[in-house]
Amino acid sequence: MDSKSKDLLEKLKNEHSLDIKDYEYLLTNRDENLMDLAASYAREFQQKYYGNKVFIRGLIEFTNFCKNDCLYCGIRRSNQKCERYRLSKDTIIACAKEGYDLGFRTIVLQGGEDYTYTDEMLCDIISEIKSAHEDMVVTLSIGERSKESYKKYYDAGARRYLLRHETANPKLYARLHPKEMSWQNRMDCLKNLKAIGYQTGAGFMVQSPGQTDYDLAMDLKFIEEFKPDMCGIGSFISHKDTPFAKEKSGTLEVTLFCLSLIRLIYPQVLLPATTALGTIHPKGREMGILAGANVVMPNLSPTNVRKMYSLYDNKICTGDEAAECINCLKQRIASVGYEVVTAPGDRVGHCFSSERH
Ligand code: 5AD
Ligand code: FES
């Protein structure tokens, strides 16, 4: 670790802001000592705001049909080898109930961009879940839709929305996505979600094909400026049936370092140790927690569809029942000295009331 890196890290810890060039410098000059120091600062903030608590959200992957064709993603519409499924309204509601009975107070309804689920259907699902379980927080992660649609889901009771920006660099965005997809539209969606009052999650892929340290530094700057309530990051992992099949997957180290930097940029942020992290290393999620993450998202989807939601190769947890998955995660989290809590887990200091808006 050179003295400039140490000074920059110190500055980030105190001021929660750096120039893009300085983020880039930290990424380029990353070594084991710098990573350790970043992780120990990150744990100080984690401890200060959240103690040793790790929040848990149940993920229901309800459709793998997708109208998009992102070059990296295994469920892109051109992937003819992907076996498709949709869960019925009743199945989704039954999964939510199972989650509730297992103690979850936040569920994430995630899917490809599948307009077979109309606004009316989605609102119906959201409001049924809310009326069955008043204290369940419903999170959506269904991609880009209009502001009007987002407002309808909010009015039906959804309060959180996850939409990764994928990359803060429009040029890199254009290399990872087909022509018809627009970086600007994605950014507008994020702004709309925030304006409506959603607790909003953004996020990016680490080491996606062609990504430079400067690109990653732009992502860190974006997080600093946009201040999403949650930030989901994971390394790019190649999928055999995509145009990026032969591209190198990202490394555990760079993702862990990014997690620590994000915690320093925004100490109260909700930061998941993602399934992608658990996929690139058997102890990836535990290491993610030790690098500053404080959320895990086990899968509540029915086991018979799990394998089909294959965004990247070798995705973990595709064979386990929800209950097994939670117990496994609880043990993993406990093994590094943390405790899983099922409460909705707001970002601290966030004014969150179902009465708002
Ligand atoms: N590797 C890593 N992450 C991926 N995602 C999609 N495909 C891949 C991949 N091959 C991520 C994207 C998307 C989220 C649902 O999964 O960031 O937003
Ligand atoms: Fe799903 Fe371990 S978290 S099996």
C-alpha span between 26 and 34 (Å, rounded): 8
Q: Domain spans of the chain? A: 3-345
Per-residue confidence (pLDDT) for residue 318, from 0 to 100? 85
Place of tokens 């930030």: 231
- Ligand 1 site, residue 198, Cβ cutoff 6 A: no
Structure tokens at 151: 């407002």
Structure tokens at 150: 């987002």
Structure tokens at 1: 């670790």
pLDDT digit string (tens) for the chain, length 357 residues: 999 999 999 999 999 999 999 999 999 999 999 999 999 999 999 999 999 999 999 999 999 999 999 999 999 999 999 999 999 999 999 999 999 999 999 999 999 999 999 999 999 999 999 999 999 999 999 999 999 999 999 999 999 999 999 999 999 999 999 999 999 999 999 999 999 999 999 999 999 999 999 999 999 999 999 999 999 999 999 999 999 999 999 999 999 999 999 999 999 999 999 999 999 999 999 999 999 999 999 989 988 898 889 898 888 888 778 888 888 899 999 999 999 998 777 776 554 433 332
Q: Which atom of ligand 2 is nearest to the CA of 324?
A: 4
Is the CB of residue 68 less than 8 Å from the CB of residue 163?
Answer: no
pLDDT digits (tens, 9 = 90+) for 206-238: 999 999 999 999 999 999 999 999 999 999 999
Q: How far is the CA of 231 from the centre of ligand 1 (A)?
A: 13
* One-letter amino acid for residue 118 of the chain: T
- Ligand 2 site, residue 328, Cβ cutoff 6 A: yes
- pTM for this predicted structure: 0.95
Structure tokens at 346: 């707001």
Which residues have C-beta within 8 Å of that of residue 95, sequence separation ≥ 6? 58, 60, 62, 87, 107, 300, 301, 302, 322
Which residues have C-beta within 8 Å of that of residue 94, sequence separation ≥ 6? none
3-345 placed in CATH 3.20.20.70? yes
Test site for ligand 2: of 277, 289, 320, 340, most ligand atoms within 8 A of the Cβ: 320
Q: Which atom of ligand 2 is nearest to the CA of 328?
A: 2
C-alpha span between 335 and 44 (Å, rounded): 19
Q: Which atom of ligand 1 is nearest to the CA of 72?
A: 10
- Ligand 2 site, residue 320, Cβ cutoff 6 A: yes
Structure tokens at 194: 């925030």
Name the residue among 274, 254, 253, 181 with its Cα closest to residue 211.
Answer: 254
* One-letter amino acid for residue 326 of the chain: I
The enclosing H or E element of 203 equals: strand 199-206
Q: How far is the CA of 271 from the centre of ligand 2 (A)?
A: 18
